[in-house]
Chain A
Amino acid sequence: MISTERSQSQSPRSSMAAGAPFLTISVTDPVKMGTGVQAYISYRVITKTNLPEFEGQEKIVIRRYSDFEWLHDRLAEKYKGIFIPPLPEKNAVEKFRFSKEFIELRRQALDLFVNRIASHPELKQSEDFRIFLQADEEKMDRARSYETGIFKKPADFLQMFKDVQSKVSDVILGKEKPVEESTPEYEKLQNYIFELENHLAEAQKQAFRLVKRHKELGQSLADFGKAIKLLGACEGDSLEKVFSEVGSKSEMLSVKLQREADNLLFHFEEPLKDYVRAVQSIKATMVDRANAFRQHFDLDQERKYKELNLYVSHFAFTHFWLCAKDFQLTRKFEANVFTFQDIPNNSCGLRSL
């Protein structure tokens, strides 16, 4: 039985009774929409709240995965430095996209996602969050395609270009990497996070395999049981009974193993995966931080260069100006000298009067 206990961020009954502010969200009811390649799953998002920022006590909207993605990206942009709750994986192998397990796992993860946002003191204030929870489907569609359209790109492009630029210049000039800030504590933390992700990912990989093994063992036990029963049928008499006992027990075990596989998937492997995603989200924030620092550093560098240029050009200009001035004066002086030399001749003209 798949439980949705993890979806409540607060128990509504107690808070409703107390009149305390509450915000309860649940993601339910996955429904396949459309056909063929364009088919997708839509979810119902039910918001129950008494907070003033929201329009009304209860709101139900229909959302799909890309809407959740939109929300995630908006929050990631606006709230840099905060660990944004992780989303379930985007791409799935075509075969599994509509398998029951996959849909249920995704639903659970999305439910967790919105509730974690709702519990976060800063993130829950987000305007985009409110839009997500309340806007009607058309508005949501528009918002989503607007944002994932071209507009995002130029800013990104410029930033990407700058990153590449600085990386290239680094390489060419042979500068070393440490454009990263690093205090020993922060570095330690970074290493910790990186290694933690590796270990968790390994554990999750094995957990996933374990689920598969349970299914395989279950299947082969079922086949074996059947074959044993058939074998017993050839024997007849008392021995047949023994065979069929063993066979049916095998089949029973197989059922149990399949159930165990499901259990493991939902209660062991998925939480592990959740942790891996969480650590990846932390890493993303660290990358943001590093990028911000680098941006700051690069801009600082630019500024210094510009200042230097300015100073140099200023100096050059002054020098030139002075030179120019100097030349002018020299000409004047020479001109004057020439004039003065002429005076004796001129003064003779004046005596004959």
Chain B
Amino acid sequence: MMSSTALPDLPAGDGDGDMETLHLAATTTSDYASVASTFDPLISASPPSPPTPAAFPLSPASSSFVDPPSYADVAASSSPHSASASSSASPRSVRAAASEYTFIAVSDPAPEAEPAATSLVPGSSPTYITYLVTSARRGEHRRHAVRRRFRDFVTLADRLAEAFRGHFVPPRPDKNTVESQVMQRDEFVAQRRAALERYLWRLAEHPAIGPSDELRVFLQTEGKMPLPSSTDVASRMLDGAARLPRQLLGEETVATPQDVVQPAKGGRDLLRIFKELKQSVVSDWAGVKPPLVEEDKEFLEKKQKLQDWEQQLTSASQQAEALVKAQQDMGETMGALGLAFIKLTKFETEEALYDSQRIRAADSKHIATAAVKASRACRDLNTQTVKYLDTLHEHLGIMLSVHTAFFDRSSALLTVQTLMSDLASLQSRIEKLEAAASKIFGGDRARLRKVEELRETIRATEDAKCCALREYERIKENNRSELHRLDQERKDDMLEMLKGYVASQAAYAEKIVEGWETVEEETSGYARKTDSTAW
């Protein structure tokens, strides 16, 4: 989703095919033809591209960072890319190689008609796009191919969110509610296809989600989408509203254990939602200390650090976008300048009345061609820059899933707190009833019966509380292990990004400088002459 903000004519660094065609289209000089024809390891070192992990010799551990390509290497080869073939140990490709799936691809977008289409305008039934999803599991030889539509991906995302509370579940591509005209357009479809592919790869690389059943079923089960789809909010609310009267009358008193492990929000139990809301208000505003609090200092510290990190990341990613745009503009203007000079020199050569004009024109042509070459180099550099700095955008996406995971934790905590308050209030009711009952001689059968009921309720609530507590602990553990994993991944990714960015900047800068130095040599005669104002 972040990558949709990348420059329109530069696909954000995935999909081998895209990159290489771009490369071929942009170059005509023999200088670049050699680059385009060679298999470009730097480009294909980027992770979510399917063919590469298989084609790649994998290095064992991501900690063995190779030395940055030496500039001598770079200068020697006409292509700045080939020198970094050694950096095949990019952390992303390592992760991809270690994942549950060796191959995932999303392709072949094809429109299909809505089955029970009741269109008001005859002859234009609403259609949707389906994608062919092919995958191969590690250890299995056969490839699975299924057709899925975007809605199915949304369902997958929802099911995963439910099943993996506390984990950093990769965010799915945006929904984009736009009119069907836009939906059909090629560019939009292509962007979405690429985004979906990246999404599936990220899911596969996740140590917990990759091997999950949900993913497997999604990728392998043919035919209609096998996972239950989420119902919309309105119908859930209606269901909840139907139950409410019975709840209030005390007929359905307690949330069952299996309900309790799911968050209250988005569920059907309106009463529970209200109770938890009240609990959170009481904790936050009334200053009443809830029965159980978040005490894990380490967690709170980490949370704070991540907040700072996210803030800086947002600003860095904005600056990165501005930088990419500035580089692109520079390349364009340099090219336009070169072109203007080429036209000028051509004109001079043709229309000149004196030979000296032609000589000058020929010399000026060197400058023009150098400018055009510099412009091309600039644009290629920009492609690389986009690819590397895209890491910033990706990590912003990851932060979203972090927020979700932290929210899972806090809502589970809230459930526990609510149940504990419930217990406390039930207990006090019992005490009151018992106290009242004891004052009556001979016992109060009605009250005692009530007390028995309440004790039943308490027992059930205790059970629910235990479940909720267990869930809470589970989520906390997930948080912890994910945070640890994120730390490592973040370090690896950032380092890779910086190395790649710097290496490509240096390499291309050298190339451009070379070009200008050649021009300087060729026109050195002029520098020696003194300036004169005569004309």
Is B336 in contact with chain A by the CB < 8 A criterion? yes
Please name the residue on chain B nearest to A8 by beta carbon. Answer: B533
Q: A220-B326, A234-B305 are in contact. Are A209 and B351 (CB under 8 A)?
A: no
Identify the stretch in B240-248, B252-260, B312-320, B471-479 within 8 Å (CB) of chain A at 4 or more residues. Answer: B312-320
| Binary flags per residue of B336-353, CB closer than 8 Å to A gives 1, else 0 | 110011011001100101
CA distance A202 to B342 in the complex (A): 11
Within 8 A of B (CB), among A58-98: 85
Whether the Cβ atoms of B312 and A234 lie closer than 8 Å is: yes
- Given A6-B533, A202-B340, A235–B347 Cβ distance below 8 Å? no
Cβ contact within 8 Å between A217 and B327: yes
**B343 pairs with A221, CB closer than 8 A:** no
* CB of A227 within 8 Å of the partner chain: yes
Given A217-B330, A239-B491, A242-B495, check contact A206 B336 (CB 8 Å). yes
Q: Which B-chain residue is minimally distant from A9 (CB atoms)?
A: B533
Stretch at the interface among A165-173, A193-201, A345-353: A193-201
- Of A85, A219, A227, the contact of B315 (CB 8 Å cutoff): A227
> Is the pair A239, B330 in contact by a Cβ cutoff of 8 Å?
no
Closest Cβ of chain A to B56, distance in Å, is 25
A218-250: which have CB < 8 Å to B?
219-221, 223-224, 226-228, 230-231, 233-235, 239, 242-243, 246, 249
| A216: contacting residue among B326, B501, B502, CB under 8 A | B326
B466 CB to closest chain A CB, in angstroms? 39
State which of B318, B325, B340, B490 has its C-beta within 8 Å of the C-beta of A206: B340
- In chain A between 247 and 305, which residues have their CB closer than 8 angstroms to a CB of chain B? 249, 278
| Interface flag for B309 (CB, 8 Å) | yes
What residue of chain A has the Cβ atom nearest to residue B341's Cβ?
A203
Q: How far is the CB of A187 from chain B (nearest CB, A)?
A: 13
- Binding site secondary structure of chain B: helix
CB distance from A302 to the nearest CB of B (A): 37
Nearest Cβ in chain A — how far from B386, in angstroms?
Answer: 14
Report the contact-size class of chain B (Cβ under 8 Å from the partner): 35 or more
| B296 interface contact, C-beta 8 A | no
Q: Are B498 and A199 in contact (CB under 8 A)?
A: no
Residue of B nearest to A200 (CB): B344
Instruction: Please choose the segment from A111-119, A131-139, A149-157, A326-334 that sits at the chain B interface, where 4 or more of its residues have CB less than 8 A away.
Output: A111-119
B531 CB within 8 Å of chain A: yes
Q: How far is the CB of A266 from chain B (nearest CB, A)?
A: 13
Whether B334 is near chain A, meaning CB under 8 Å from some CB there, is: yes
- Residues of chain A within 8 A of B322, CB atoms compared: 220, 223-224
The answer on a CB contact under 8 Å between B498 and A243 is yes
Residues 8-34 (chain A) with a chain B CB within 8 angstroms: 9
Does the CB pair A209–B533 fall under 8 Å?
no
A130 at the interface (CB under 8 A from B): no
CB neighbours (8 Å) of A223 from chain B are: 319, 322-323
A195 near B351: Cβ-Cβ < 8 Å = yes
Q: Is the CB of B533 within 8 A of A115?
A: yes
Question: B493-520, CB under 8 A of A: which get 1 and which 0?
Answer: 0110010011000000000000000000
Q: For the complex, what is the distance from the CA of A243 to the CA of B330, rounded to whole Å?
A: 25
B494, A235: Cβ atoms under 8 Å? yes
**Is B333 part of the binding interface, using a Cβ–Cβ cutoff of 8 Å?**
yes
A53 within 8 A of B: no
Q: Is B534 an interface residue (CB 8 A)?
A: yes
Q: How far is the CA of A213 from the CA of B378 in the complex (A)?
A: 13
Instruction: Determine whether the beta carbon of B312 is less than 8 Å from that of A231.
Output: yes
Nearest-Cβ distance from residue B501 to partner chain A, whole angstroms: 7
Distance (Å) between the CB of B472 and the closest chain A CB? 28
Q: Which of B315, B531, B533 has the most CB of A within 10 A?
A: B533
Nearest residue (CB) in A for B364 is A203
A210: Cβ under 8 A from any B Cβ: yes
Contacts of A231 in B (CB 8 A): 309, 312-313, 316
- Is the pair A230, B340 in contact by a Cβ cutoff of 8 Å? no
* Shortest distance between the CB of A317 and any CB in chain B (Å): 57
**In the complex, chain A residues whose CB is within 8 Å of the CB of B533:** 6, 9, 112, 115-116, 119
| Contact between A217 and B343, CB atoms less than 8 A apart | no
Contact with B along A97-126 (1 / 0, CB 8 A): 000000000000000100110010000000
Within the complex, what minimum Cβ distance (angstroms) separates A272 from chain B?
10
A192 contacts the other chain (CB 8 A)? yes
Chain B residues near A199 (CB-CB < 8 A): 340, 343-344, 347
Residue B535 is within 8 A (CB to CB) of chain A in the complex: yes
Residues in A neighbouring B348, C-beta threshold 8 A: 196
Which one of B337, B494, B498, B535 contacts A116 once the chains associate, using CB atoms below 8 Å?
A: B535
Q: Flag if A220 contacts B333 (CB, 8 Å).
A: no
* Nearest B residue to A83, CB-CB: B535
Interface pair B535/A228, CB less than 8 Å apart: no
B222 close to chain A: CB less than 8 A: no
Pairwise interchain contact A213-B498, C-beta atoms closer than 8 A? no
Nearest B residue (CB) for A226:
B319
Name the residue on B nearest A113 (C-beta): B533
Please give, as numbers and ranges, the residues of chain A lying within 8 Å of B18 by CB-CB distance.
Answer: none
Nearest chain B residue, comparing its CB with the CB of A228 = B316
Q: How far is the CB of A5 from chain B (nearest CB, A)?
A: 6
Query: Are A5 and B340 neighbours in the complex by a CB distance under 8 Å?
Result: no
Say whether A234 contacts B308, CB under 8 Å. Answer: yes
Determine whether the beta carbon of B498 is less than 8 Å from that of A246: yes
Tell me which of B318, B351, B531 contacts A6 (CB under 8 A). B531
A214 touches B309 (CB 8 A): no
Cross-chain contact B535 with A278 (CB below 8 angstroms): yes
8 Å CB contact of B337 from A115, A206, A242, A246: A206
A57 to chain B, nearest CB (A): 23
B338 CB → nearest A CB, Å: 9
| Cα–Cα, bound, A243→B309 (Å) | 13
Q: A227-B319, A235-B494 are in contact. Are A203 and B531 (CB under 8 A)?
A: no
Q: Check: A207 CB closer than 8 A to any chain B CB.
A: yes
The verdict on B239 contacting chain A, using a C-beta distance below 8 Å, is no
Pair A207/B337 contact, Cβ less than 8 Å: yes
CA distance A220 to B330 in the complex (A): 12
Q: Which residues of B contact A (CB under 8 A)?
A: 305, 308-309, 312-313, 315-316, 318-320, 322-323, 325-327, 329-330, 333-334, 336-337, 340-341, 343-344, 347-348, 351, 353, 490-491, 494-495, 498, 501-502, 531, 533-535
Residues of A within 8 A of B (CB): 5-6, 9, 85, 112, 115-116, 119, 192, 195-196, 199-200, 202-203, 205-207, 209-210, 212-214, 216-217, 219-221, 223-224, 226-228, 230-231, 233-235, 239, 242-243, 246, 249, 278
A-B contact pairs, 17 of them (CB 8 A): A119-B533, A200-B344, A202-B340, A209-B333, A209-B337, A210-B330, A213-B326, A213-B334, A216-B326, A217-B327, A217-B329, A219-B326, A220-B323, A224-B320, A233-B312, A239-B494, A239-B495
Sorted from nearest, which 6 A-B pairs have the closest CB atoms?
A206-B337, A227-B316, A199-B344, A224-B319, A220-B326, A217-B326
